[in-house]
Amino acid sequence: MNLPMNTVSDDALVTRMYDLVRTGEGDAQELMQLDAAIYGRLAEAYGETIPELDALPRIESRWAA
């Protein structure tokens, strides 16, 4: 099932990134997308903007939370 990244929970994003890094799996694109989603949510939570994140392509997750 493909879910838009914005429907995946914060916990699921961080867990997925941790699992990819821990196991050495995943491609650079997925890691960059997870990184952008996590930093974007942090910025939003603290009322900041990160212009560089807007330039990154939006993705759909290949995994379900």
- The phi and psi torsions of 59 (rounded to 5 degrees) equal -130, 170
Digitized pLDDT (tens) for each residue of the chain, 65 residues in all: 345 666 788 999 999 989 988 998 877 888 888 888 888 888 888 887 766 656 655 555 555 44
- Scan for tokens 């867990």, then name that residue: 15
Whole-model pTM above 0.85? no
**Strands 3-4 vs 60-61: parallel, antiparallel or unpaired:** antiparallel
pLDDT for 53 = 59
